[in-house]
Amino acid sequence: MSATADAEAAPPPRLILGSASPRRLELLSQIGIVPHALRPADIDETSRRNEAPRDYVRRMAAEKAAALELAADEAALTADTTVAVGRRILGKPADRAEAAAFMRLMSGRRHVVLTAMALRHGDRTALRLVETRVRMRSIDDRALERYLDVGDWQGKAGGYAIQGAAAAFIPWIGGSFSAVVGLPLSETAAMLSAIGIQPVAKGEPR
């Protein structure tokens, strides 16, 4: 058998999701992808001085992938999502006051949600960045306080999740909805397919 035939016959790598996010796990399940294991990467997520938001999310995704220990038959998928208003990066708010400040900053204007994915397989790492524009309607103080009381801002980039209570404030997006949630599904499926990992149809054995 030729080397080409051997390569074609080789099984796809086992997928390691380098994230503890239940949202990313749920998103992958929508396209029939079940990771072999979850292995969150432990890195410093502090942005650098004057670092542009797009550079920041690419770096975060790449550093997460590089930090994981992988076996020869494994591939790692990592991602990072952040919200940007101009050149300002809005990460996960430290407390209620910062969440309120983020929401006031986005109120009545558009912002950009950036999600970068890194797929590490062997000695190669593929990177992809997806940008989605989001418009948030003006939020009055009473509505903001009710939103903060729900607590949905905790652990969310920009202080909100588009699939949560903040959906009431978002009349329009331009781009990938799933990217705002945490993982752009079409782009992710294409990246995984390139290394032989295909979605599993319902009823098909894994």
* Size of the chain, expressed as the number of residues it contains: 206
Give the per-residue pLDDT at 1.
44
Which DSSP state fits 94? S
Contact 129, 79 (CB under 8 A): no
Q: Is the pLDDT higher at 20 or at 102?
A: 102
**Digit-coded pLDDT (tens) for 6-61:** 445 678 999 999 998 899 999 999 999 999 999 999 899 999 999 999 999 999 99
Q: Please give the C-alpha separations between residue 113 and each of 41, 64, 72, in angstroms, as whole numbers.
A: 22, 19, 34
Give the per-residue pLDDT at 167.
97
Among 78, 77, 105, smallest CA distance to 91 is for: 105
Residue 138: phi and psi, rounded to 5, are: -65, 135
Strand ranges (E), the chain: 14-17, 37-38, 74-85, 88-90, 110-121, 124-135, 172-174
Give the per-residue pLDDT at 201.
52
Give the per-residue pLDDT at 20.
87
C-alpha 206/C-alpha 78 separation (Å) is 22
C-alpha 108/C-alpha 150 separation (Å) is 21
Strand ranges (E), 36-193: 37-38, 74-85, 88-90, 110-121, 124-135, 172-174
Q: Which of 80, 123, 149, 152 is catalytic?
A: 80
Reply yes or no on whether 141 is catalytic. Answer: no
Neighbours of 8 (CB within 10 A): 10
Q: Is the pLDDT higher at 12 or at 201?
A: 12
Cβ-proximal residues to 38 (8 Å cutoff; 6+ apart), any chain? 16, 17, 19, 20, 25
